[in-house]
Amino acid sequence: MKTLLFFLLLPVYANSQTISPEKIYKKVSDAVIKIYATDNKKEAKGQASGIIIRNRAWIITNYHILNVGAFITTQHNDKTYEIDSVVSMDPEKDILIFQMKDAEKIKKDKTIPQIQIGNSAKLNVGQKIYAIGSPMGFENTMTEGIVSGLRTADDSAKNLIQISAPISPGSSGGAILNDKGELVGISCGVITTAQNLNFAIPINDVMATVPGTNVGRGDPETFLTGSSLAEYDYNKGVNAYMTRKYDSSIIYFRHSLNKSAKTKRPQIYYCLGVVHQFSARPDSALYYFEKTIEIAPNFAEPYLSLFEIYAAKGDLQKAVQYQYKAYQLKPDMRHHKTMNFKMLPPY
């Protein structure tokens, strides 16, 4: 019985031990990647860092990377990882979690370390921490320091870990690890007018953006995916539409629609109708415009779109009926020019 008790307790005891910086780097560094924000020409406009949570095929980073470019690409050691959609995001707290493409393949990819999730609620001022990221593009740079303070931003409810481990532009979204190699935060910024005032977002706050997520257990397998947010995919759909990339736009809007199924957002159906209309697929456009009206009967724009489609088909009786309804709901639409390039509504 004593021997059995020893073996039962041994894994817990071993897991609680600190490990050397060298072992921490070897253990987790290949889960930390570069992220680029690019423009429509795929030219880089900004660079940040991100963390792969392999068991969920997630990439964790900062939301502010979206402010500098229309498209996101991720890579590590010249290998590119594709993004499928957004799991969750919180602009105010500067948190963004992506879902990676080929998720099942990623989960089985043993070249990506399985980073363990710590509990940031247990952090104490003075304890040792390590930062891994790509400051100024120097991939997988590791620095060490301590927890200098546990703060709340003056202008928001955002919790921050103040750290002495040096970080720089390009480190945003990188890993902050405790001396067990557990992820306890993500780098988010520095105060450039002062010396060595660096900050990170607690990992508990990051994971709390995903409904149902358990934090502080050290095991990503305990996570529940929860409901995904659709705004990012919607905005990507708008960007693709504005650059006439209609097939890509349809894919993004469908992703957004799937993630918004419970709220039945009529503007997504309307956008799908517009994109199908401009890409010469009138029958599909009809379906989405009619679905929009079913959900939001006082939304004027889809009536006018149906007028355009039926007029093009030669069914003038139906066309006039829809035109009249559109003008009834929104009289200033009488100045509308048929098949103008439509501005899509905000999410």
Catalytic residue list: 64, 94, 172
Helix axes 282-295, 266-278, angle to 10 degrees: 160
Q: Which long-range contacts (CB under 8 A, 24 or more apart) does 196-200 make?
A: 196/164, 196/166, 197/162, 198/131, 198/145, 198/162, 198/163, 198/164, 198/165, 198/166, 198/167, 199/151, 199/160, 199/161, 199/162, 199/163, 200/131, 200/160, 200/161, 200/163, 200/176
Sign of the CA dihedral running 86, 91, 92, 95:
positive
Give CA–CA dist 309/229, Å, rounded: 32
From the list 11, 95, 78, 277, the residue with the least C-alpha distance to 86 is 95
Contacts of 281 (CB under 8 A, 6+ apart): none
SS3 253: helix
From the list 85, 90, 100, the residue with the least C-alpha distance to 232 is 85
Which two structure tokens, joined as six digits, stand for 193? 């007018």
Give CA–CA dist 7/222, Å, rounded: 24
Length of the chain (residues): 347
Contacts of 263 (CB under 8 A, 6+ apart): none
